[in-house]
Amino acid sequence: MCGILAVLGCSDDSQAKRVRVLELSRRLRHRGPDWSGLYQNGDNYLAHQRLAVIDPASGDQPLFNEDKTIVVTVNGEIYNHEELRKRLKNHKFRTGSDCDVIAHLYEEYGVDFVDMLDGIFSFVLLDTRDNSFMVARDAIGVTPLYIGWGLDGSVWISSEMKGLNDDCEHFETFPPGHFYSSKLGGFKQWYNPPWFNESVPSKPYEPLAIRRAFENAVIKRLMTDVPFGVLLSGGLDSSLVASITARHLAGTKAAKQWGPQLHSFCVGLEGSPDLKAGKEVAEYLGTVHHEFHFSVQDGIDAIEDVIYHVETYDVTTIRASTPMFLMSRKIKSLGVKMVLSGEGSDEIFGGYLYFHKAPNKQEFHQETCRKIKALHKYDCLRANKSTSAFGLEARVPFLDKDFINTAMSLDPECKMIKPEEGRIEKWVLRRAFDDEERPYLPKHILYRQKEQFSDGVGYSWIDGLKDHAGQNVNDKMMSNAAHIFPHNTPNTKEAYYYRMIFERFFPQNSARLTVPGGATVACSTAKAVEWDASWSNNMDPSGRAAIGVHLSAYDGKNVALPMPPLKAIDDMPMMMGQGVVIQT
């Protein structure tokens, strides 16, 4: 991932302003340590910090069209850039960068070209012919982006809040799936798929369609000119990404450059569930596996850095970001610049344990829609900023546009969790990859219960965080929390502790408004908390808060999922020679 910063129409073209833009752009250098670029046209400034993943030799930014009248600074990956180049036959490209197509697409089609891009991106485009500009962000918000306004009428754009928070009167998160046009004078939504209106779909479940769509999503993300690997926790999602990558790596350009053997990475406390499962999957797939251990104290010592980089005070995001942050530093030290990761599956398929309590398919589907729309505030934010803190790029195939459309068109009845029928969470995904002839994964991994990343790295991690917060926040502080923090008032000592750190780095009111709030249990939305009255007494984002569902629930009881006798499931069309067997 790169870092972009733009200041547009600031009524100041002085050297002092240029120096200030350079200074602010340096705050993003961790995102792109390979090269820096700055373009100035009058009182418009476009700055770029580059992480070179495609065409490292010639893809420096900003990028231009043929006569340099259109200028672009981009953070992203355009997976269909070769196909788009073929459609732009009359255009000449200066570089081999995947992002080089953007200026030419605008020249050819105007502002409505954004939906043609298949990838993840945030970009600012300046048309010097009429001094107009446009800004766009990818469909789900995998790449972070903020927009701000100065008192002088200027518009500011930055990949991270720290690039503009000190110089804007007001700033906010740039909405995913939108572009902003100076000609239109505001935002326009460019991404509006059928599932966005949350109406219940009715397409029957076809396992092979899910399998093909996800394999395609992974394969297109193997586009790289630098060493890469996969994050492998041993859970379903990361294991499927690793399995598909291992199957299709041979014969790719990446394999010819860097060898056909896949590298995998896992992080956890000594003896954690993820380390054990990750090692087993790595041995099964034959990857070169790298295990990174951290202690609770290592994580606690990193909390301030994590909050500075991830720019949130959300409890579950900080819990999960910290081990990912520590692992990313280790991965980058090995010379790896890109990794594939498994974010997004739980939102699409209802994989969080609280989905066990969904009362009907309509509620189930609407909750998945709400979760996907909010991903840019949570898991996308974590995955991108935790890795980008060290110049490492994370790609997330579950959030591929085509795959989301395929999965979200399914009748949600088939996604519903029905233990009495052997259907655990994410059953439709598990079954799609349950291949007896060429197994993708061992059965017990394919049917491993969901562990949230902050739980899977070791249960004592969260317990240690709570203890540490309790030593730094007293009851008197909590009694005044509503007066000190009237917006998103912290209701636990852990939340109060994170909020204090966040406010020190980002004291502006605009900053605190970028962070989501509201009631949650096991990562649910506030609406889903209503599904079970008992949850209101156990408001914690950990999966262990799903009492009666998680095998290590907080109530101390070893409550197992009710399991039927071992049998194949025959209430849906099955692939030839395939059945689902639940292994205990």
User: Contact at 8 Å (CB) between 411 and 193?
Assistant: no
CA dist 222 and 346 (Å) reads: 22
Counting Cβ atoms within 10 Å, is residue 332 exposed (0-12), middle (13-18) or buried (19+)? middle
- Percent helix / strand / coil, the chain, rounded to 5: 40, 15, 40
Look at the block and give the residue holding tokens 């992002």. 99
Residue type (1 letter), 176? P
- Token code pair at residue 321: 């970001």
Q: Is 390 left (phi over 0), alpha (psi -120 to 50) or beta?
A: alpha
For 13, what's the count of Cα atoms within 13 Å in the CB-facing half-sphere?
A: 7
CA dist 455 and 462 (Å) reads: 7
User: Contact at 8 Å (CB) between 207 and 429?
Assistant: no
CA dist 491 and 35 (Å) reads: 43
Q: Peptide bond before 62: cis, by omega within 30 degrees of 0? A: yes
CA dist 530 and 358 (Å) reads: 10
Look at the block and give the residue holding tokens 């789900």. 140
The residue count of the chain comes to 584
User: Contact at 8 Å (CB) between 468 and 481?
Assistant: no
Q: 421: Cβ–Cβ under 8 A, 6 or more apart, which residues?
A: 564, 569, 571
Helices 236-248 and 207-220: crossing angle in degrees, nearest 10, is 70
369 catalytically annotated: no
- Token code pair at residue 571: 């209430």
First and final C-alpha spacing in the chain: 40
DSSP state of 410: B
Helix (H) or strand (E) holding 392: none
DSSP state of 535: G
Angle, CA 375 vertex, CA 452 and CA 264 arms, to 5°: 50
Which residues partner with 8 through β-bridges?
A: 155
Helices 493-505 and 315-333: crossing angle in degrees, nearest 10, is 60
Among 97, 120, 125, smallest CA distance to 109 is for: 125
Q: 46: Cβ–Cβ under 8 A, 6 or more apart, which residues?
A: 4, 5, 6, 38, 39, 40, 62, 71, 72, 73, 124, 126
Three-state secondary structure call for residue 375: helix
Among 7, 260, 222, smallest CA distance to 124 is for: 7
Phi and psi torsions of 427, nearest 5°: -55, -40
User: Would you please indicate which residues are annotated as catalytic (active-site) residues?
Assistant: 2
